[in-house]
Every structure is written in structure tokens, then in C-alpha cells.
Amino acid sequence: MFFYQLLLLLILNLTSAFLNSQSLELNNEFKISKRLFKEKKFHDALISNDKALKLSNIEFGEKHLTTATLLENKGRLLLELEKFYKAELIFRDVYKIREELINKNHPDIAEALNYIALSLRFQNKLDGAILVHNQVLTMMASMIANNPGQISELTRSSALYRAKAYETKDIQLIKQNKLEEAKGNFRIAIKIVDRTLGKDKRELILLKDKLNNLNEQEQK
């Protein structure tokens, strides 16, 4: 599925709460979902993740970071299954839970917002997606300024979110037939991903393919 190729951070999260969980069944369902995800069996992974989510709601409650992580995993799987609107609703729930439980300027909140932006992009709600991308970048800039001890990790995340924002803007520019501006944005995104992830990453290949396709489109 194309979303497996597009996202950079799609390995399902394992938090300390899982390690501390007394529920062996919850941990087992999580591990099964993670394995199925890596095998690209997204529908089966969703079933296992939903079982883990139900157990998390019982053990930890609906407003808990473990539950939020499992919800986010569900949203990612829904994106893989191209159920974009359902994914958006899930990511908004994740955002609300994390905003209530942790510092508002926190990487996990920025991550949830980034997924909201992407789910909007895949629904062609580009104006809304760009607004959320900008919110993410503003939040990351604040975190970088106020957390010098984490500047390397935060800068990396911010760069990747910026590349995603450029991709979304490019879709809008292409629709407006502003191909030269779109190509410029793709080149910037490629540089960001190249510096951040390295040349062997699938994300970089996809961006280069998009730029090549745009060049071919312009030549027709």
C-alpha cells in the first residue's frame, strides 16, 4: 500500500506502559499487530490492534497514553487501508487525549497533528492540511527553542514534518498548474529527506519519482 511507502515513522510504537502492563493478552495482541503490520497484512493487524485497544481501555482507561498510542496505531492502519476520514477522526482523538495528559508543546502532540494533516491531505482537504502542517512546524520551532538538550532529535523531526508540508503544498500547486513552483518545493523536500534520512530511504526514492513525473508532465 502506498502509505506504507510514504510515512517515515510507521513502525508501531512500543511504550513503557506496555512493558509495565499486567495484561499478557494485551502485550500478545500488540506484538501480533506489530508483526502483521511489518508483513503488510494491514487488515489483520487492525483486528489485533483493536483487541489490544479494547484491553487497554479496560486496564488503563480511555484517557491514557497507552490507549492513545494504540489509537494512533489504528489510525495509521486505517490510512494504509485508505479509510482516510476514519483515520482523521482517530488522530483527532489521539490529539485530544495527549493534549489533556501531557505538556502542550510535546513531540507526541506534534506527531498526532502531523497525522491529522496527512489524513486531510489524502482526502484532498489541502487548505485544512496546510493549516495543520503550519501548526506542527510552529510547535516544533517552540520546542527546539526551549529544549536545547533535545535539539538534535527535535530538529530531525521538524525537518521531516517540513518535508511533509512541502509535499502537501506541492499537490495544491500542481492543481493550480504552478508546476515550476511545485518542482522547487519537491527539490527542497528531497534535500531535507536526503540530509535527515540518507540516500537509501524509500521516502527519498518516492520524492524523486514524483519530481521526475512532474518533469515528464511538463514536457508533454
Tell which residue, 161, 151, 170, has the closest CA to residue 192: 161
Is the pLDDT at 201 greater than 80? The verdict is no
Can you give the pLDDT at residue 18? 52
What are phi and psi for residue 172, nearest 5 degrees? -65, -45
- 3-class state of residue 32 by DSSP: helix
> How far is residue 108's CA from residue 102's CA, in Å, rounded to a whole number?
9
Is the pLDDT at 127 greater than 80? The verdict is yes
pTM over cut 0.75: yes
Percent of the chain topping pLDDT 90: 54
Can you give the pLDDT at residue 5? 38
For residue 124, the one-letter residue type is N
* Mean pLDDT, the chain, integer: 85
- 3-class state of residue 13 by DSSP: coil
pLDDT digits 0-9 by tens, 137-163: 999 999 989 888 888 888 888 888 998
> How far is residue 46's CA from residue 37's CA, in Å, rounded to a whole number?
8
pLDDT digits 0-9 by tens, 67-103: 999 999 999 999 999 999 999 999 999 999 999 999 7
Read off the C-alpha cell for 42.
494491514
On whether the CB atoms of residues 123 and 21 are closer than 8 A, the answer is no
Mean pLDDT in residue range 17-34: 76
Can you give the pLDDT at residue 213? 76
**What is the band of 22 on the pLDDT scale with cuts at 50, 70, 90?**
low
Neighbours of 2 (CB within 10 A): 11
Read off the C-alpha cell for 179.
508546476
**What is the band of 12 on the pLDDT scale with cuts at 50, 70, 90?**
very low
Residues in the chain: 220
